[in-house]
Structure 1
Amino acid sequence: MWWPGILVQVSLFRAFHEKEVQAKGRLTRNQFFLIAFMCSFAYYVFPGYLFPMLTSLSWLCWVFPKSVLAQQLGSGLHGLGVGAFSFDWSTVSSYLGSPLASPWFATANLAAGFFLIMYVITPLAYWLDIYKAKTFPIFSDGLFTSSGQKYNISSIIDSSFHLDVEAYERNGPVYLSTFFAFTYGVGFASLAATVVHVCLFHGRDIWELSKSALQSKLDVHTRLMQRYKRVPDWWFILILSVTIAAAIFACEYYNEELQLPWWGVLLACGLAFFYTLPVGIIAATTNQRPTLNILTEYIIGYLYPGRPVANICFKVYGFISMKQAVTFLQDFKLGHYMKIPPQAMFTAQIAGTVIAAVVHLGTAWWMMNTIPNICNTTFLPSNSPWRCPSDRVFYDASVIWGLIGPRRIFGDLGIYSSINWFFLAGAVAPLLVWLGQKAYPDRQWIKLINMPVLIGATVQMPPATAVNYTCWIVVGFLFNNLIYRYHRAWWRRHNYVLSAALDAGLAFMGVLLYLSLGFQDINLDWWGSHLDMCPLASCPTAQGIHVEGCPVF
C-alpha cells in the first residue's frame, strides 16, 4: 500500500546508500551543496543586516497605513499575516524546521490546521469579543489587565518569589489575548489527540514490533549492524541514574532557589517516559513533534501553585527531557541506516551533549553580561535582534502556570475554564477519523488526515508568527508537491542537500555578521531596517481603551 512518507524515505536512503555517479554536464551532490551553501551564505547579508524588512513584507500595512483593521489582517509579525511573505530562510525554518524535509501530507495537515485556527476561529472569536478579545491585541503573547494595559507582574511577587495573593486580588486577574488563550486549548487537544491517534492507528504495529523484538526477529539493517559491538544497557542505566540523582540533589540542596521538591523530578521523568513513544511515532511519520510543555506546566501548576521557578524546572525535566530523547532516537536511527558503530554513535552523542551544555551556559552568561537590556522589549528598538521571543513566551508561561497557577486562570477560579473542553475535543477527533476510515476503506484520503498535526498546527505560536507559517507552507508545497511531481529526479537528488545548504549558509553568515558588526554595535538605520512596519496591528479595538500609540474608538 502506498504511504505518503515513502517519498521522504526513498530520498533519505538514496542520499545514504546510492553511489554518486558523475554524469556529463550534471553536478554531483557535493558540488550542488557547495554552490547552494555559498549562495545562501552570500544572500543572508541582506535580511540579516542590509535589508531586515525582507524578514516580513506586509504590503497591506503599506497600502493602509492608518487602518487598524488592515494592519491586524496584514501584519506578518503582529497580526493574521494575510498576504505577508518573507525572503528570509530563517523566517521559513526557524520554528517548524525545514519545510523541504516534511512529507506533503503532513504539510497539508499543518496548513489545514493553521488556516482553520488563524483565519476562521481567531477572527470569529475576536469580532464576537469572546473573552473581551477586542480589549487586547489580536495576536500577542503578553499578559494584560482588564483595561488592556500590560500587567505589572512584579507587583504580585513577594520577597521569596512566590505569589502575593492579596496583591493579586487587588490588581485583578490576568487576561490573555484570545489567540493566546486558544493556543493553550490547542495544546491540550493536540496532546490528547496524540495518545488516542497512536493507540488507534499504530497500536497493533507497536504490539507486533514489540513481540518481534522479544523473539529476536531482525530486519536487514539490524542484521548488518550485528557485526558491531552494541551499547551495553548498563551504560544507559548509569547515565539515567546519575542525572536523576543529580537533578534531585540540585532541587533539594537549592530548594529556595529552584522551588521544586524531589517528587517533582520523578513525576517529570515519568511524563517524559510515557510520552516519548507516542510523540516519537508522530515525529517519525510526519516530521512534526507535539509539544509536552503545556501539560507539564498544567500538572505542576495544580500540584504546586504559586512557584514560578518550580514550574520552569518541572517543564525542563519533563518536556525538554522528552524532546531530547526523541532527538537522541532520531540520531540513532540515522546512524543505524548509515551503519555507524553504535558505541561510536553513543560516545559522539554524550560528548556533544556535554560540549553543548558548556557552550550554551557560557554563551548565555556572556550575552547577559555584555548586551544591555537583552530581551527587555521596553527599552529595545523594534529591529533589535535581542528581543528573545521564545524566552518571553517561556517567562509568560511561568507566570501563568507557575506564579498565578492554572486554577486561577483555567480552573474554577479563572476566566478561561471552558478551554479545558479542548482535552475532550482532541481525544474524540482521531476516533472520528478512525471510524471514517473503517466506514469508507476505499477513500484513501481519509488515512492521510493526521489529527495530532492538524489540531496542533499552531502550538508554536507564539513565539512563531503568521509569516513563519505562511512561508513554511508555501515553500513546503512548492518543493514536496509541485517539484516532486514534475521534476522527481531532481527532487530525489537535491531536495535534502538544498535544505542542508540553506541552513548551513544562514548559520555561518549569522555568526559572521554578529562577530564583525553586531558585536561592535554597527547598525544601519533606514526604512528597510524596520520590521513589518505595522505599528497599529497590536492596537485594541474595544471602545474607550487607551493604549499609547493607538487610536481610541
Structure 2
Amino acid sequence: MWWPANLVQVSLFRALHEKEERPKGGVTRTQFFLIAFICSFAYYVFPGYMFEMLTSLSWICWIFPTSVLAQQLGSGLYGLGIAAVGLDWSTISAYLGSPLASPWFATANVAVGFVFVMYVLTPICYWLNVYKAKTFPIFSDDLFTSTGQEYNISSIITSNFHLNITAYEEEGPLYLSTFFAMTYGVGFAALSATAVHVLLFHGREIWEQSKSSFKDKGMDIHTRLMTRYKQVPEWWFWSILVANIAFTIFACQYYNDQLQLPWWGVLLACAIAIVFTLPIGIITAITNQTPGLNIITEYIIGYIYPGYPVANMCFKVYGYISMTQAVTFLQDFKLGHYMKIPPRTMFMAQVVGTLIAGFVYLGTAWWMMETIPDICETTDSSSPWTCPSDRVFYDASVIWGLIGPRRIFGDEGVYEAVNWFFLAGAVAPVLVWLAHKAFPKQEWIGLINMPVLISSTGMMPPATAVNYTTWVIAGFLSGFVVYRYRPDWWQRHNYVLSGALDAGLAFMGVLLYLCLGLEDISVDWWGNDLDGCSYATCPTAKGVFVEGCPVFD
C-alpha cells in the first residue's frame, strides 16, 4: 500500500531536486512560498497581538461560564480541551513541530495516544479521585500540598540549594495534578517501549546494516555520489567529543558548589546519551517523532544523588539534551547527504553554527533577564513571558532533584504504583509484534508504533490540549485528505507551505515584540483573554478552598 510516509520522502526530494518550472495555469514553488509567507506574516498579527483568543477557542466555556466541570472539559489551555481549537500556526507547531512533516501513520499514532491518555486515563483517575486527584486542578504543572494549596518550595530548600529534611517533613509530601502524574507514568512506559520495539522490529535490520557497513556493501545512489567528496575524518569527531567531555568535567569540578554534579555524573550522562541515540534515532527516522530521555535521566540521578536539584538539571542536559542534539545533527547531515553538500562543509557549518548559537543564546538570555521585569512570573496574567517550558524544567528539578524520586515515586512516596508503567511499556510492543506475526496481511498492524503512541503526550505539560487537538487536525488534513485527493499538489508544496508558515510567523513575532512589546503597548479587550475558562483550574473536592473558585460542600 502506498502510504503518506513514502510521500514525505517524495515531497522532500521534489523540493530539493526538481527543476523549478511554472506549471500550466499555476505558480512556481518560489511564488507559492512568497504567497504563503505573506499570508502567514499578515495573519499572525491577530493571534499574536489583536485577537489572542484565536490561540485557543474554548467555546464550551462560553456556553457554561459558571460550570467547573464544563470548563475542565472544554478549556484548551487548562483542561481536557474537548472541542477546543486554535486558529494559530504557533498553537499547532509550537511543541510538536510542523504536522506537515510527519507521515500520516505517525500522526495517527500520536492521535490515538493523546486520546487515550487525555480522554480515557486522566478522567478515570480524576473522577475516581486517585491520589486525591479532585483536590487539585485536572491539568496543571504546579506542585501542591495535600490540601490543594501551592507547595512552598522556598521553605524546604537551603541557601546552597539542598533539601531541608526537617522543613520538608513539616510541609508534608508533594502532590501533582492528575495529568502531570500520568505524564510521568507515560514517560516510564515510553522508555521501555522504545527499547523493546527497536529490538523486536529493527534488531535484525540493525545487525545486517552494521555488518554491511564494515564490508562497504549496499551503498545506495546517494552514497555513491557522495564518495567524490572528501569525508570527515573520524578523529575530528573524537577530538570534539573528548574535548567537550573534558571541559564539562572540569567545569563541574571547579564550580561544584554551583553545579553540584560530580565528575562521574558527567560520564554516566554521556553513556546514557550514547546508548539511546541509536534506538531513538531509528524511531525519529521512521516517524519524525522523537521520544525523550528527560524522565529517565532525572530518575537515575535522582535515586543516585538525591537532594541536589541543580545537579539533576545538569545531568538531564548532558544526558537527554545531548541525545536530542545528536539526533538533530544526524538529521542535518542526512539532509546535506540528499542535497549533495560536501561532508566537510556540512561539518564546519555545524561547528560554526553551534559556536555562534551558544553566544547568541547566552547573550539573549542575559539581555532578557536584565530588561524584562518579572520574567517567567505567572502572577501577571497580561505578561506574555510566562516561560511554560522553563517552569516545567524547574518543577522537574524539584521533583527529581531536590526531593528525589524515592520520596515521590519510591517506597517513601505517594506515587509508588506509577512504576508499573515500566512493565506496561515493555509489554505493549510485544503484543503488537505478536499480532503482526499472526496476521501478516493486515498491514495496518505494522504501522502501530508503540513508542510514538505511548510517548505522544510527552510534551504535555508545557504543551496543552489545544496544541495537540489542532496539530492532529492539521496533520490529518495534510497527510490524509490532501494526499488522497490532491497527491501531486501535496508532493510539490508540502514542505514549501510548512516553511512559509514558520517563516511568516517568526518574522511577525519578532516585529510585534520590537515595535509593541518593548513599549508595553497592548490591546485590552475580551478577545485577548487567552482561554476564557477561569474555573478550569478549580478543584472539585469537598471543602477545598482556592481563591476565585467555588467551594464544594
Q: Under a length normalisation based on structure 1, what TM-score does the superposition of the two structures give?
A: 0.99
Instruction: Map 1:214-229 to 2 at 5 A.
Output: 214-217=214-217, 218-229=219-230
RMSD: 0.8
Say yes or no: does 1:79 pair with 2:79: yes
| Structure 2 letter corresponding to 1:309 | V
**Partner of 2:476 in structure 1?**
477
- 1-side partners of 2:26 and 2:491: how far apart? 14
| 1:159-209 Cα distance to aligned partner (Å, 9 max, x none) | 221000011001100000111011000001001101110111111111111
- Where in structure 1 are there 5+ consecutive unaligned residues? none
1:384 and 1:72 map into 2 onto residues whose CA distance is 24
- Find the counterpart in structure 2 of residue 93 from structure 1: 93
Cα 1:68/1:374, change in 2 over 3 Å: same
Distance, in Å, in 1 between the alignment partners of 2:430 and 2:211 is 26
SS in structure 2 at match of 1:512 = helix
Runs of 4+ in structure 1 displaced over 4 angstroms? 1-4
Structure 1 equivalent of residue 517 of structure 2: 518
CA distance in 2, matches of 1:4, 1:411: 43
1:10 aligns with 2:23: no
Q: CA deviation at 1:76?
A: 0.1
Aligned to 1:428: 427
2:526 corresponds in structure 1 to: 527
Give the AA of the match of 2:103.
P
| 1:30 corresponds to | 30
Equivalents in 1 of 2:435, 2:24: separation in Å?
51
1:23 shift after superposition? 2.6
Contact conserved, 2:76 with 2:531, CA < 8 A, in 1?
yes
Residue 452 of structure 2 corresponds to 453
Matches within 5 A, 1:201-350: 201-217=201-217, 218-350=219-351
1:31-180 → structure 2 map (5 Å cutoff): 31-180=31-180
Shift of 1:20: 2.0
Please report how far the alpha carbon of residue 4 of structure 1 lies from its aligned counterpart in structure 2 after TM superposition.
Answer: 5.0
> In 2, Cα distance between the equivalents of 1:2 and 1:477?
16
- Tell me the amino acid that sits aligned with residue 152 of structure 2: N
Taking structure 2 as the reference length, the TM-score comes to: 0.99
SS of 2:376 mapped into structure 1: coil
Q: Alpha-carbon deviations, 1:303-338, whole Å to 9, x = none? A: 000000000000000000000000000000000000
Name the SS for the 2:316 alignment partner: helix
Tell me what 2:367 maps to: 366
Deviations 1:432-462 (A, max 9, x none): 1001111111111110100001111101100
Q: Distance in 2 between matches of 1:345 and 1:238?
A: 17
The match for 2:410 is 411
- 1:388 corresponding residue in structure 2: 387
Letter in 2 for 1:308: P
Q: CA deviation at 1:21?
A: 2.1
For 1:294 and 1:37, the matched residues in 2 are separated by: 37
User: Which residue in the other structure is 2:495 paired with?
Assistant: 496
Distance in 2 between residues matched to 1:124 and 1:248, nearest whole Å: 46
What letter is aligned with 1:533?
Answer: G
For structure 1, which segment, 212-221 or 1-10, has the greater mean C-alpha deviation from structure 2 after superposition? 1-10
* Contact preservation (8 Å) 2:4, 2:479: no
Equivalents in 2 of 1:308, 1:376: separation in Å?
Answer: 20
- Name the CA distance, whole Å, in 1 between partners of 2:151 and 2:312: 20
**CA–CA distance in structure 1, aligned partners of residues 488 and 437 of structure 2:** 36
Contact 2:298 2:312 in 1 (8 A): yes
| Contact preservation (8 Å) 2:307, 2:403 | yes
Determine if contact 2:4/2:480 at 8 Å carries over to the other structure. Answer: no
Q: Which amino acid aligns with 2:56?
A: S
How many residues are treated as equivalent by the alignment? Answer: 551
Amino acid paired to 1:94: A
Q: How far is 1:533 from its partner? A: 0.6
Amino acid at match of 2:62: W
Q: What is residue 535 of structure 2 aligned with on the other side?
A: 536
CA distance in 1, matches of 2:439, 2:469: 32
Partner of 2:189: 189
**Corresponding residue SS for 1:5:** helix
